[in-house]
Structures are given as structure tokens and as C-alpha cells.
Structure 1
Amino acid sequence: MNWISNVVRPKIRSFLNRRESPENLWIKCPETGQLVFFKDVESNHFVIPSSNYHMRMGATARLKSIFDDSTWEEIAVPSVAADPLKFRDERRYADRLKDARTKTGMADAVKVGAGTLDGLPVVVGVQDFDFMGGSLGMAAGEAVVAGLETAVKRGTPFIMFAASGGARMQEGILSLMQLPRTTVAVEMLRDAGKPYIVVLTNPTTGGVTASYAMLGDVHIAEPGALIGFAGPRVIEQTIREKLPEGFQKSEYLRDHGMVDMVVHRHELRPTLASLCRILMRQPSAPPHAIALPPPAVVEAPAAPA
């Protein structure tokens, strides 16, 4: 009887009372270790409220946060060969691509949209680190080039949100060829006299840093973002010296002239709007009209009898 009471019944009870809970209900802050409710972080543009740590932001969420009324037109990207080298390491490259597309809902690492920012037409490209580390392959390169060409045709600024671990090794030399291709597309936008603004997010490294991520007219970085070509650990092992505190972080790079400004995510949208208007020589947006309350109805006092 004890065995039934002490073992069987509690197991049945725990099984019946088990409740399903989402896996991402809580987020652990990488800086402080504090557990934060996911909905609070999501509503705060994926910034931890207590520590101001900037979490990674997906491409769709990023586009929603930039465009007016969270609406935009998605720019079509030319299709490319899915697995041109038939690459295989521990797994087939085709299987890795399939998993990444299922996980993110994206065709590849870069999504491009066109819309308005504070009433000014712009084209925006966003690199999503969740798609194979934001690696630059043929499809991602085509997306960046398509975004730049669209900005040239429509005569608008192009804003690029960079987040990448570098070139995609599964595509070999075809991946590395995206560095000069995107550079030529940036020059096309420059020849057209339109602004190119780069927002460097955490992390931006490798071949992306060696190409379009460092060719902007203005470079903005989010707080605490890792920005560089090779990682700090590789550099330390190569030069056999201890690197300065905060080396390759956005604040360090701003102080040493590699980045123009470090902007909190909450201030990013108005900052980009102001820069686009200045560089496009457009007048400032008119202030939004404030709806005044209807005048109060005051009844006249009754005449004395």
C-alpha cells in the first residue's frame, strides 16, 4: 500500500497536472544573468529593461521597428543555386539550409524592404544572425545588391543593418565573390548621389566587415556590439599580446574613429530619419498635430427672478 501511495499516485498526479509552457517564456540576460520575461523584452525592442543589453533582433522585427506603421514592400531577390558545390561536412549543406529556413521563415540571411521612414521613402536591408550566423553567401549577396539597385532606381537612401559571422564557407569562392559584387553596388548608389547608412549590430565580423558594412556614408553602431574582421581571441593568439579592455566593441571603435556614433535602439529610428533628411537635403518633417480637447460648455447663470 505504501508503494502505491508514495510512488504511483504522485506520478499519476504530476502527469495529470503537467502544463505546457513555451520554451522562450523567460530570457537570461547575457550581461547580468537576470531572468527576464520574454514579452517584456519583446515589447522593449529586444533590449533588457534593467541592464540595457541589446539582444539580437530578427529581420522581420527589425523592419517593423523602422518603417512607418510597421508596413513595407518586400523586395524580390533573384534566385540562386541552392548548393552549387554539393558541399558536405558533418551534414549536407542542403540540409543545413533547410533547417535554417524552417527556423527563421526566411529564404536566406538577408531580407530587404522598401517603405517610408518618418514620411521619407527608404530601402532597408537586414541581415539576420539566426540564419546560419548571418553568413554571406550567394543568396545574401544577391539580396544586398538587389536592395542597393532598388535604392538607385527609386532615388532613395539605403540603410543596411549588418549582423554576420563572415562569409559562408559551404559556398567557397562563390561566397567570397560577394565582397566585390556588393562593393560595386555600393559604388553605384554613391554615383547616383544617394545616401548609404550602415547600422552595425552584434556581431559584425569577417567578410561583411571587409565589404559593404564599412563602406557607408555614416556608420552607426548599437551599444556593446562586437565589430571587427577577426575575433579578439584570434588576434590575441596571433600577436601574443593582451588586447585593451573593450577592444572591438562599438564604444571603443567610436572613440578610435572607426564608427561615427553609438545609438541606443530606442533612439535609432529618429536618428536614421534625421540623417536621411539631412543627406537627402529634405526639410524636417512637420510636427504632428496635437488633438486638442473639445471646449467645455459653460452654461450661463440663470437670471435672478
Structure 2
Amino acid sequence: MTESLLLPAPAGPSGSPGTAERVLPLRRPGRWAAAIVVLVLVSQAAHGLITNPFYQWDRFAYWFVRPVIVEGLLITLQVTAYSAVLGLAGGVLLALGRLSGNAVLRSVSWTYVWLFRSVPLIVVLLFLYNLSALYPTLSIGVPFGPAFLTFDESRLATDIVVAVVGLSLSEAAYAAEIVRAGVLSVDQGQHEAAAALGLPRRYQFARIVFPQALRSIVPSYVNQLIGLLKATSLVFYVSLLDLFGSVQSLASTYPGDVVPLLLVATVWYVLLTSLVSVVQFYVERYYARGALRAVPPTPLQRARAGLRDLWIRFRKETAP
């Protein structure tokens, strides 16, 4: 809100004071000085980034869309998509277990969340990658009895399967807390009203509670996807050449291009996370309907409003 001073209007022709008041905005020289300092610093940083030959921008342009980089990028997107879907599905099941009235389900779900939020993701990936040393074969059958079907674990657990399973197991623990928090955010009166109607518990959750919980779940989980996207860089340590793995492999072959290759990975990750951030903004804007009196303006609407305010202020300040 712009602060302003109210000044009396000049006296009329007869010498009587004017009845109207002129509004003059308060001057803020400190803000303009700070803005100028920030612009100078940003300009210097951009100039150094562009003109420093150490970054080798010509080599950056050469590597940016090379087939090996694009293939690694596609693997990153593939692993992220699979892990996001499986992690969210596992998170919903774990959240239901934590909210269950059954003590066994509550205890097992809590233990799972506690364990996988405590163990670093790289440890989970490395453990799964070496799981064949502990369990060479996997079987399906009667517990403590004969096996009906046997699998060779080394052939079943390919590099991409290990990466997706490891990321999904870890992601499910965080998704469970997001889903549980969303369900708990629904007003208790909604639960009581659904129960008073005599609706089955499954119907209460699927048609009344969960749709309202999505207002809190979806924006938070879209934000979680940004962390998942960056966490895929760890699958390089289980021999999967994703975007970061491709860059690391090329850097060992072309040691003179280490910096431009790292810049290639950085720019691609920034672009991908920016796209997810755009999706997050519009998802949050969509679910804000009904909760806010007015939905938040889009960046384009903010830019138009800012330019309009600057133009109005400029006209007021330059008016005679």
C-alpha cells in the first residue's frame, strides 16, 4: 500500500481555502538507492559470467543438445515420472495406515516412514544395487514352505529398476506425511457430517474427505517433485547414466570441458525445475478457488499491473 501525504489545495480566487486535497506520494530515496546498488551488482555478475573465458560458452553450446546429453535427460525424466507416481501411491497407502484404527497398521506405517526418512537416499540406492549379494534369488510361495515361482534377482533388478525402486521407497515416506497432513487439515466437522449421514467409511474418504485434502496435498507434493527431480542425480552411483551421469562420464573423457559440461547439467536442471515451479503455481492457483476471495494473479497479470502503476505514478509526478 503506497503511503502518501494529504496537502490542502491552493486557495481559491477569493482567498478562501480550497475544499479539495492533493495527494502526494512519499519520497523513498533509500529504496531507489538500494535498487540501483542491486542492479549494478547483478550487471557486474552477468558481465563476469558472460565474458569470463573460463566458462567456455562455445563448448557449452556444443554440448548442450548433444545426443548423449539428451539421452541422459530422457532417462532423468523417465526415472522422475515413474518414481513420482509410485511414491505418491505408496504415500497414500502409508498415510491411510498411519490414520488407521488398527494398531499393527499404524505401527508398521510409522516405522516405515521413520526408517526411510532417517536413511540417506544414496545408502538406499547402494543397498538395493548390491542386494543380489544378499538375496541371489527371489521366490513367491507359501511362507516357510515351498516356492511356486523363483526369480533371478540379478536379472530382474536392472539399473533403471534399482533407481526407480530406491527413489520410490524414499519418496513414499515423504509423500505419506504430505498426504496425512492434507487429510488432517480437513475440518473435523466434515468427518462428523459424513459419519452422521451414515455413509460407509470408504465412501466418506473417497468422496468427501480426500477431495478436500487435495487442496493441501497437491501443491505440497508438486513442490516435493522438485526435490525428487534433483535427487535423480544420485542414480549415477548405481551405474545409470542419467543427465548428471552422462555429464560425469563425458567430463572424465574430456577433462578440458569439465566446466562447460557442469554448466550444461546446471542449466538443464534449472529449466526442468522451473517448469515444475510453473506447474506448481498454476496447481496452487487452481486449488485456491473457494478458499480465497480472489485467486492469485498470474505473472503476466502482475507485470501488467506493475507497469500500469509505474505509468500512473510517472504521470502524477511529472504533471504540472
TM-score of the pair, normalised by structure 2: 0.22
Q: Which structure: greater helix fraction? A: 2
- Of structures 1 and 2, the larger Rg is shown by 2
TM-score of the pair, normalised by structure 1: 0.23
Q: Which structure: greater strand fraction? A: 1
Higher relative contact order (CA 8 A, sep 6+): 2
